[in-house]
Each structure stands twice: as structure tokens, then as C-alpha cells.
Amino acid sequence: MAIYEKSTNSDLKQTEVHLYGSSRLGIFKMDRSVENPEVNSTGIYTFTRGNKFFELSNHLGNVLVTISDRKLQVQNQTVTTEIAYYASDVITATDYYPFGMDMVGRKFGLANRYGFNGKERDIDMNSLTAYDYGFRIYNPAIGKFLSVDPLTGSYPWYTPYQFAGNKPINCIDLDGLEEENKIKTTIQAEMDVDGSIGPLIPKAFIRKRQEHASMLSKSFPETLSLIQTSTGNEVMAKMLEIVSRHFSPNYFDLSWGQKVMSEIRSDAFLTSQEVACFNSYTDYENPGNITILAAETLASFEKTANDLFNAYRQDAFFNHSKFRILIESESDPNAKQALVNQMVASNKQSMFTLAWMCMNMFQPNSTGAQGGSKSRSFRINSVANKFTVKSAKFDYFFGRVVSGPIKNIQRSAQNSKDLTILGVNSESQLMRVFEQAFENGTVISTVVNEHGTTVAKSINIGNRGSISVGFFYKGGNMSSVPSVTSIIPKIFK
């Protein structure tokens, strides 16, 4: 990110460049012409210190001090020809009240552009500083946002104007919508005389969440349901990590079961924060030892882990581990769960299609001359000698395209929606539509290009609509076996 300036009588100049590591480190100030850059023909460059300003901040991101990249010599008082040490070149220093206003008499130099929570100051709002948090403007003088929280319906226990959950010592406000705890040892800080459950989770942590769940169940059951789903997804994400760690597509490798179940039964898993939160929000009416609650749900954990492993193996067989790769690359627990649901649905559909193909593969035909005995033969596929369909096409037809050009993703989703309206919900049903269109469909168009010929045939699906199917003949050879390349569902009004 950079700042550019242009006045009436000067070139467009780059005046600032922001310095970044894992977060913003500071600012590099310069005076570089963009329209007429200097050409250095000598190969000699001069580096000037004092133009880079680094921000020193605390756990909340509050910029307390800014220093330049210069170091200041401090002479030895005894031997004046020697340098005792180097001191930092401090440019600004600021202390803040808990809700962000600059402390009077606790400042040095002009206020840095970035201050409380690392946000940019907006001095144009009023005589005091204001900060733009994205969704709302915050006034640290009164410790409130200047507009109502857009998510106030989800947090009825807070005032609509609150900042960081009214916990400015250990929390920040992410973007004007919700708080984020910046102290990583919060769980340990909640320890009290009750002691802890396992190595990580204190009983106070569990009790507070059970009380929260009990309150939500009475006043906001829908919110409680969302939290239960979210905490369940976090447990699922933790189980997916364990299963992925020991996954093997080899059906004869039985060692995975022992390794996975060993981790699922361990205290590290059963007393983890994810499992503790899940049990707190699902068994809030029976406060007790969280280890016992986890043990009671251990059987369901083990079954889920086994189901996940089998789903991964089916995904490896049918989809070359497409869903497993997507799940492992996703960091959000809720998105992981959505991908798991898609994988399970895809596996079921693939199993059904495989069974359908096997039935057709070994379906007997009756042949023979008139008056002769009937002989038994087998056909490879009921459509094998008519047309072919690539398996990837079914992903496109049934809305399973989740990557690539956005128009393909949108079209895939629309195909799935239209097919559902027409009552076509499986690959076997769609294959029957293809067969009927191939044999009895009405030709609506023929397109010829350098690659071949595409014949579009349409067939009505009851009185609900129709489906146009594109059959492609490679090289224009109309006696060859065509492939299905496209469908266009149409819903009758």
C-alpha cells in the first residue's frame, strides 16, 4: 500500500510506502516522481536513514512508540573519543486511556497517524481523534461507536454502541462488528479454586459457557442452535485433522484404525477446548465433570471417525481424493463441515451410479435364430454403443463444481437447481434422459466447427419442462459414438 500526491505544478509523486511483515511494521517516507523517475547512470546509490518509521505496539495493537531507522551515538563520558552505546531515534510516544483516548501529558512529538488498536486516526471528525473501524466510526473520548451495531440482534446482552465487548484491556474490536480476545492465555486466566479438567480446561471455563447456554436456551434458542452447530463443527475439524494424519487409501491397511482411535480416546482430545465447548453448549443442564461428558460421547466420536475414514477412501476411489484435498486446505471449521457434507452426498451418488452400471453391465439379453434356443450374453452398458458421458460432466450437471471460472460455478449451480425442479435428482435418472433424447429427441440445432459436429436434441420432462442434450461427433463422423457435452434445462412457465 502506498500514498501518492500530485499538486498543480508538480509531477505525481509517491510519498509513502507501508512496511509489512506479518502485520504493518511502519511507514517509509519518500519523495519519488512517478511520471519522471530519475535515471541513475553512475551505478552509485545514496541511502538516507531517518525516512523509515517503525511502530512499537502492545498486545492490542496500540502504537505506543515510533522510532526511525537511525541510531543515535551516545559518547562515553570518561573517554569522549569513544562511543558508549547507541540510542533509538524516538519520533513519537503516546499512552492511551483504556478506551483509546490519548493521555494528556503522556505524549511525545506529534501524534502518529496510526494509534489505538493500530487504526488510522481521523482528525477531521471533531476536535478529538476518531477511528474508522470499517463498519463504524469509533470515538475514544466517550468509549462508544457513533452508530448502532449491525449485529445487535445477535448480541442482545450488549448495548448497540459498545466497543470490544466492554473489555478494552484484553479485547479489540475487529471491524466495528465483534470483539476479539488478544490475550492468548485467557483459559489459564479463568482458573479458580475449582481446579482444572485435564491439562487444559478449567472448570470455570466450562461453567461460564454452561451458564451462557442456559440463558440462550430460554431467551434465544435459535442463537444457541447456531452455537451448538458451530462448536460441533470445531470438534469435527479436530477429528478431521486426526483422520487425515493417519489416512491411507489402502483398504488392506488396518493399522489406521488403532492409530485414530488411540488419539480420539486420549485426554488431549477429550479434554480439549473444542470438545469442552461442544459439551458445554449441548449438555448445559447437567453441569458435571467434562471428562465424564466426553466419555459418554466417545462412542459417537469413534463412529464419526470411522465414517470419515471410509468417506475419504470412497472419495479416493470415485473422485481421486478431490474432497479430501479441499477439506485439508480449508481452515474454517464451518466450511470444512460443508465440504464433508458434499463429499458424503457425492459418495452416495457415486455408489448408486456404480450399482446401476453394474446391473446394466451384467443384464442378460435374449438372442438366437427363429425356432432356435435362446443363448445368454452380456452387454457392457445399456448406452455403451449409443453415446458416452465423462464422469466430470456429472459434477457440472449436478452443481458440484466449486472451483474454476465463476461463470462455470454459477452455471453448474443453476443446472442442479433446474434439474431438481424437473425431478431429475440422480445420475441414473439423467442417464435415462440422455438415452430417451438420443433415441426419441427432437433435433433443435446442428453446429459444425473444425473439431466436429454437435447435434442438440430436446425431450420434454412431463409438463414441467424440457432438457436439451448436446451430442458431439468428433471430426464430424456421424457414424461414430457421440459424447454428451452439454445440457440446457428449461422450466415451463
How many separate domains does the chain show?
Answer: 3
Does the pLDDT of residue 304 top 50, yes or no? yes
Q: Are residues 310 and 205 in the same domain?
A: yes
DSSP letter, residue 201:
E
Query: Which helix (H) or strand (E) is 46 found in, with range?
Result: none
Q: Are residues 346 and 455 in the same domain?
A: no
Whether 307 is in a domain gets the answer: yes
Whether 23 is in a domain gets the answer: no
Whether 42 is in a domain gets the answer: no
Does the pLDDT of residue 97 top 90, yes or no? yes
Q: CB–CB of 312/349 below 8 Å?
A: no
> Taking the C-alpha atoms of 108, 111, 114 and 119 in order, what is their torsion angle to the nearest 10 degrees?
110
| Chosen domain end from 148, 181, 214 | 181
Q: What is the edge-to-edge ordering of all strands in the sheet holding 442-448?
A: 442-448, 452-461, 465-474, 483-491
- Lowest mean per-residue pLDDT among 67-76, 104-113, 191-200: 191-200
Alpha carbon 252 to chain centroid distance? 34
Q: Are residues 170 and 288 in the same domain?
A: no
Percentage above 90 pLDDT, the chain: 14
Whether 14 is in a domain gets the answer: no
Q: Are residues 173 and 70 in the same domain?
A: yes
Q: Are residues 345 and 250 in the same domain?
A: yes
Grid coordinates in use for 140? 475514544
Q: CB–CB of 130/163 below 8 Å?
A: no
pLDDT tens by residue, 140-173: 989 999 999 887 877 788 889 999 888 898 888 8
Whether 115 is in a domain gets the answer: yes
pLDDT for 199 equals: 42
Whether 345 is in a domain gets the answer: yes
The highest-confidence range among 248-257, 288-297, 437-446, by mean pLDDT, is 437-446
Q: Are residues 326 and 390 in the same domain?
A: no
Determine the structural domain holding residue 480 and report its residue range: 383-491
Q: Residues near 230 by Cβ (< 8 Å), separated by ≥ 6? A: 333, 334
pLDDT for 120 equals: 87
Q: Residues near 4 by Cβ (< 8 Å), separated by ≥ 6? A: 12, 13, 14, 15, 34
Does the pLDDT of residue 294 top 70, yes or no? no
DSSP letter, residue 302:
H
| Chosen domain end from 128, 150, 181 | 181
Does the pLDDT of residue 64 top 60, yes or no? yes
Q: Are residues 175 and 211 in the same domain?
A: no
Alpha-carbon gap, residue 186 to 184, rounded angstroms: 6
Alpha-carbon gap, residue 203 to 194, rounded angstroms: 6
Q: CB–CB of 198/271 below 8 Å?
A: yes
Whether 245 is in a domain gets the answer: yes
Q: Are residues 176 and 211 in the same domain?
A: no
Alpha-carbon gap, residue 238 to 279, rounded angstroms: 15
pLDDT for 206 equals: 63
Q: Are residues 394 and 315 in the same domain?
A: no
- Lowest mean per-residue pLDDT among 140-144, 245-249, 470-474: 245-249
Q: Are residues 166 and 304 in the same domain?
A: no
DSSP output for 67-122: EEEEEEEEE-SSSTTSEEEEEEEEEEEEEE-TTSPEEEEEEESSPPSB-GGGPBEE
SS3 of residue 334 by DSSP: helix
Q: 209 or 319: whose pLDDT is higher?
A: 319
User: What are the b/e assignments for 460-491, b being 16+ CB within 10 Å?
Assistant: ebeeebbbbbbbbbeeeeeeeebbbebbebee
DSSP letter, residue 137:
E
Whether 330 is in a domain gets the answer: yes
Alpha-carbon gap, residue 205 to 186, rounded angstroms: 9
pLDDT tens by residue, 221-243: 888 788 888 888 888 888 888 88
pLDDT tens by residue, 411-460: 888 998 999 888 888 887 888 888 889 888 899 999 988 889 999 999 99
Q: 243 or 361: whose pLDDT is higher?
A: 243
Q: Are residues 205 and 308 in the same domain?
A: yes
| Chosen domain end from 151, 181, 211 | 181
Sole residue written with cell 499512552: 95
Grid coordinates in use for 213? 447456554
Q: Are residues 215 and 321 in the same domain?
A: yes
Q: Which of 61, 75, 67, 74 is nearest to 49 (CA)?
A: 67
